[in-house]
Amino acid sequence: MDSLINLLVAAVLAGTPLLFGTLGEILTEKSGNLNLGVEGIMFMGGVAGLAGAYYYERAAQDPSGLLALLIAIVCAFLCGAFGSLIYSVLTVTLRANQNVTGLALTIFGTGFANFFGEVMAGQSESGYAAVGDTVKAAFAGIHIPGLSDIPVAGRLLFSYNILVYLGVAAALALSWFLRRSRKGLSLRAVGESPQTADAAGINVTRYKYAATCVGGGICGIGGMYIVMVTCGGIWVHDCVGGKGWIAVALVIFAMWSPARALLGSLVFGALSIMRLYVPLGIPTQLYDTFPYVATVLVLVFVSLRRRRENQPPASLGVPYFREDR
């Protein structure tokens, strides 16, 4: 029982960066943009978030943990949005191929983050870029008197860091936005049939830019989570390590539904930390393949399903020309 709770708690913690990446990519893809640069954008958000908190902590006389957390979120969001802005300019305005642009963005973001991460490490006295204990504490699990002390439920529901709750809130908000709001309806129309949206007076270009940049910002927060929570506030070379790609696969697993992304990121989070909690007596390298094997299985399974609502947005990956308008 205890080990099951431990596994679940660890799965939530490991799944949260995937959740952010998935939510950001769902928003992006709903506008018809297939951004394969999630990995690179998470890297960019990660290094920017660390840099924000790190330099704030060094500059401030009496650093506040909560303010450092906010600065990290804002920096990660802006840097992720910046990465997606590059993507949007290339694919929406200049109509470059979306797949190629996304792959290039992954390579760019990885290099960008590793470069600045090393620069930060090189400039510090200790030789590595790490935040202090005050800031670290802001990214640690919360403790709500009373609620967190409830046996089992307290640990399962009220023991995580603030970013976990932010992720869940973002998923619910995105779900509401896409299903209920007027702008959400317009965004879905842009992703399904930009011609129809255009004829209905919706500014297709503006929606594509906005969704892609906000989506990139959300992905960036996922990268920041990896650096600040998973790695404990220290820059680790190649820290994102493929999580961005799993997020892209999770979008398909979730069939473009933010609510299902919650479940998906929990499952994939559990798979990625299983070797620590479920001894099966197999080499660790095999454990490490689980998320990827699951991704392949999911892709096969999802392609068998035929409900129209679960299909990708109809114009996904197709640039829109107004043509002879």
- Of 64 and 195, nearer to another protein (C-beta) is 195
C-beta of 311: minimal distance to another protein in Å? 8
Residues interacting with another protein, by CB under 8 A? 180-183, 185-186, 188-189, 192-193, 195-197, 199-202, 306, 308-309, 311, 314, 325
- Of 96 and 202, nearer to another protein (C-beta) is 202
C-beta of 84: minimal distance to another protein in Å? 24
- Of 314 and 318, nearer to another protein (C-beta) is 314
- The answer to whether the beta carbons of residues 15 and 266 sit under 8 Å apart is yes
C-beta of 190: minimal distance to another protein in Å? 10
Between helices 162-180 and 2-30, what is the axis angle to 10°? Answer: 40
- The answer to whether the beta carbons of residues 121 and 129 sit under 8 Å apart is yes
C-beta of 197: minimal distance to another protein in Å? 7
- Rounded CA-CA distance 105/109 in Å is 6
- Of 94 and 314, nearer to another protein (C-beta) is 314
C-beta of 302: minimal distance to another protein in Å? 16
Q: In 76-93, which positions are buried (b, 16+ CB within 10 angstroms) versus exposed (e)?
A: bbbbbbbbbbbbbebbbe
> What string of DSSP letters covers 121-134?
HHHSSSSS-B--HH
- Of 124 and 193, nearer to another protein (C-beta) is 193
If 0-12 CB within 10 Å is exposed, 13-18 middle and 19+ buried, where does residue 275 land? Answer: middle
- Of 93 and 99, nearer to another protein (C-beta) is 93
- The answer to whether the beta carbons of residues 75 and 52 sit under 8 Å apart is yes
C-beta of 209: minimal distance to another protein in Å? 18
Return the number of other C-beta atoms located less than 10 Å from residue 7's C-beta.
17
Return the bridge partners of 234, or none: 130
